[in-house]
Amino acid sequence: MLINENITPRALSSEEKENRKKGVYDSFANYLVFCPGCHRVMKTNMYLQSAEIYLERLAREQTVCPECGRSEFILGYPLGSKTGFVKYHDRRDP
């Protein structure tokens, strides 16, 4: 399981969720899947459809978060981004 500790996630905004229901989304954006309880990022850099399929798989397999034990994951972007494209620094790098 891929876990990226270098990204702080944020949930999609209400507007972004509403747009998705209408079929409107950024086809070039990179989405991520994370636990809303502890914000543990499970997978990053996915196109929307791949992220939605991954969410379905996690739910179907009743996967639990390795950090907090919850079995609920949501779609999002890195904090401060509306596209998923961000530059971040490795926390281990001084």
pLDDT at 81: 78
Three-class SS state of 45: strand
Q: Environment class of residue 69 by beta-carbon count within 10 Å: exposed (0-12), middle (13-18) or buried (19+)?
A: exposed
pLDDT category at 36 given cuts 50, 70, 90 is very high
pLDDT surpasses 50 at 17: yes
pLDDT digits (tens, 9 = 90+) for 38-81: 999 998 888 889 999 999 999 999 999 999 999 999 999 888 87
pLDDT at 11: 93
pLDDT at 94: 46
**Percentage of residues in the chain with pLDDT exceeding 70?**
82
Structure tokens at 11: 């949930």
pLDDT category at 89 given cuts 50, 70, 90 is very low
Which of 85, 74, 81, 67 has the alpha carbon at shortest distance from 30?
85
Spatial separation of the C-alpha atoms in residues 41 and 8, rounded to whole Å: 8
